Amino acid sequence: DLGSSLRGTLDKLRGKSRISEEDVEEVVKEIQRSLLSADVDVSLVMELSDNIKTRSLEEEPPAGTPARDFILHIVYEELVDLIGESTELPLEEQTILLAGLQGSGKTTTSAKMAWWFSTKGLRPAVIQTDTFRPGAYDQAKEMCRRAEVDFYGDPDGDDPVQIARDGLEATIDADVHIVDTAGRHALEDDLIEEIEDIESVVDPDVGLLVLDAAIGQGAKEQAQQFDESVGIDGVAITKLDGTAKGGGALTAVDQTDSSIAFLGTGEEVQDIERFEPNGFISRLLGMGDLAQLTERVERAMEQTGVEDEDWDPEDMLEGQFTLKDMQKQMEAMNNMGPLDQVLDMIPGFGGGIKDQLPDDAMDVTQDRMRTFEFIMDSMTEAEMEYPRAIGASQIRRIARGSGTSEESVRELLQQYKMMEKTLKQFQGMGSDKEMQRMMQ
Ligand code: GDP
Ligand code: MG
């Protein structure tokens, strides 16, 4: 497949520290092929390629950075620059209006989003204003029943604007109002008029464009139209569980100067993910988990200053695991996901080995992590390097200094021991080559 030929091309750069113009051309050509087959707009692909070419040839890789990593990093940065971070969705009262063509997945997405908000402790309600498509009411109602969220619709109504108005009143107790609209096969004037009228009654905080992942060049006109009529703040891409990679969404994001909010990955109400640029880009390039891992590791390393000689992640696998490592690991987790998941992505570290781990060995929740960070800030350099030497009086001092409890300090030390033990189990497992790859 395309991803593997891109990887092959990148692999040819392995070991090189300088990239020639020829190398760059070859990599860029592979990337173009991947992006075009993922339905990314041709002019966007050209713009990206130009930027990648220019930067790869003009910029100096930081000392010690392999050419392959450097170019991959530039590709990644340029794509992130284009796609952007996930649409901001504060967990508070708000009204969201969904727009999009018929069959794009609006009704499904509205119930999914309601479910998602309910898992965040909010009380969402879906208001169904589609009076055009037969069965729209029943479909929305049934999905909301499955999502266990409030629903309003009028099976006999024929005025979407009136339904929207009534719906907002009827669901006044909800925090998040999600207004689903009708779609047509194409952008007809009456559809645009109708959604404009709904928009003025609903006065949404967020306008969301729902796009089928398979949409290609058509994304541009839709995005433009809906942006003009209701204002698009974010995009939801549906049906990413199929073969389409959703590159059309880049056009929409570019056109509306917005970002991607959600990804739909199936027909059930739980099949929804918040957009996350890293995974999406890996999917676009067809490079799979290993690429994702490389990027994640790379990014995490940048942000945690791994390059300083203070901390070498390889030490972690050689039995010199200190609290400093744990601290770096905890910081990195913010970017990489839990360590067990990271290890999961490496060939050879699959389920079998993971099953041997105690369930909670790698499990440090966000809250505990914050407490642990306070505690480690109160430790001395020596304590961080030799945590095993920390005694009762030091524990008392650290607890007082960090404004936490002795119990929390003990918990941290316990966690440290568990992680150290777990890492020992990993030593010698998996192939060295893969491990080096991960650490590159
Ligand atoms: P609407 O006309 O925009 O409201 O679109 P619907 O929500 O009715 O969805 C149209 C079809 O696409 C339905 O059969 C959905 O089950 C299906 N669908 C929506 N989202 C997804 C998705 O993420 N994955 C899959 N496989 N199907 C989806
Ligand atoms: Mg619908």
Ligand that comes closest to the CA of residue 243: 1
Tens of pLDDT, residues 429-440: 544 444 444 444
Q: How confident is the model at residue 20 (pLDDT cuts 50, 70, 90)?
A: confident
CATH homologous superfamily of 2-83: SRP54, nucleotide-binding domain (1.20.120.140)
Ligand 1 atom index nearest CA of 100: 3
What are the residues whose beta carbons fall under 8 Å from the beta carbon of 408, sequence distance 6 or more?
371, 372, 375, 399
Structural element, H or E, at residue 155: none
Question: What is the pLDDT, as a whole number, of residue 381?
Answer: 85
CB contact at 8 A, 353 and 345: no
Name the most confidently modeled range: 69-73, 335-339, 369-373: 369-373
Annotated binding residue 227? no
What distances in angstroms separate CA 87 from CA 159, 172, 206, 388, one per listed residue?
Answer: 31, 25, 10, 44
**Cα distances (angstroms) measured from residue 296 to each of 73, 274, 289, 316, 325:** 11, 17, 10, 17, 17
Q: How far apart are CA 428 and CA 103, in angstroms?
A: 52
215's CB contacts (< 8 A; 6+ apart) are: 39, 104, 222, 248, 249
| Among 178, 234, 179, 229, residue whose Cα is nearest residue 211 | 234
What's at 360, amino acid-wise? D
What CATH class is the domain 94-277?
alpha beta
Q: Is 414 annotated as a binding residue?
A: no
Token pair in block for residue 147 = 């999502």
Rounded to whole angstroms, the Cα distance separating 254 from 249 reads 8
Read off the pLDDT of each residue in 215-234 and give the average, rounded to a whole number.
Answer: 91
Residue nearest to atom 21 of ligand 1 (CA): 239
Residue bearing the bigger pLDDT, 51 or 436: 51
Give CB contacts under 8 A, 24+ apart, made by 16-19. Answer: 16/66, 16/67, 16/68, 17/61, 17/65, 17/66, 17/67, 18/67, 19/56, 19/57, 19/67, 19/70, 19/71
Tell me the average pLDDT across 257-285: 90
**Helix/strand/coil percentages in the chain, nearest 5:** 55, 10, 35
Residue 298: the pLDDT is 57
**Residue position matching structure tokens 């400093």:** 324
Domain segments of the chain as ranges: 2-83, 94-277, 288-439
Partnered with residue 236 across adjacent β-strands are 210, 262
Q: Does residue 62 register a pLDDT over 90?
A: no
DSSP code string of 254-283: HHHT-EEEEEE-SSSTT-EEE--HHHHHHH
Is residue 318 pLDDT above 80, yes or no? no
Place of tokens 């092959």: 8
pLDDT in tens, 162-190: 999 999 999 999 999 999 999 776 667 78
Chain centroid to CA 260: 10
* Annotated binding residue 180: yes
Ligand 1: residue whose CA is nearest its atom 6: 105
Cβ of 104 closer than 6 Å to ligand 1, yes or no, is yes
For the CA atoms of 42, 44, 47, 52, what is the dihedral angle to 10 degrees? -100
Amino acid identity at 423: L
Q: What integer best gives the mean pLDDT of the chain?
A: 81
Tokens of 162: 């009136």
Query: Residue 343, Cα to own-chain centre: how many angstroms?
Result: 19
Answer yes or no: is the C-beta of 103 below 6 A from any ligand 1 atom: yes
C-alpha 166 to ligand 2 mean position (Å): 19
Greatest extent of the chain over all pairs of C-alpha atoms, in Å: 76
Q: What is the ipTM of this complex?
A: 0.99
Q: How far apart are CA 362 and CA 371, in angstroms?
A: 16
Q: Which amino acid is at 195?
A: I
Q: Quick one: angle between helices 406-426 and 366-377, nearest 10?
A: 100
Q: What does the alpha-carbon distance between residue 87 and residue 205 come to, in Å, rounded to a whole number?
A: 13
pLDDT tens per residue, range 376-411 = 988 988 888 888 889 899 999 999 988 899 999 999
Whether residue 241 has its Cβ less than 6 Å from ligand 1:
yes
The residue that leads in pLDDT, 339 or 209, is 209
Rg (CA), the chain: 25
Architecture of domain 288-439: Orthogonal Bundle (1.10)
Distance in Å from the first CA to the final CA of the chain: 24
Question: Looking at residue 290, what is its pLDDT?
Answer: 39
CA of 15 to the centre of ligand 1 (A): 46
The model's pLDDT over 352-365, given as tens digits with 9 standing for 90+, comes to: 445 555 555 455 55
Q: Which residues contact 56 (CB under 8 A, 6 or more apart)?
A: 19, 24, 27, 70, 71, 74
Mutate to test the pocket of ligand 1, among 238, 260, 263, 273 (most ligand atoms within 8 A of CB): 238
Our answer on whether the CB atom of 239 is closer than 6 Å to any ligand 1 atom is yes
108 annotated binding-site participant: no
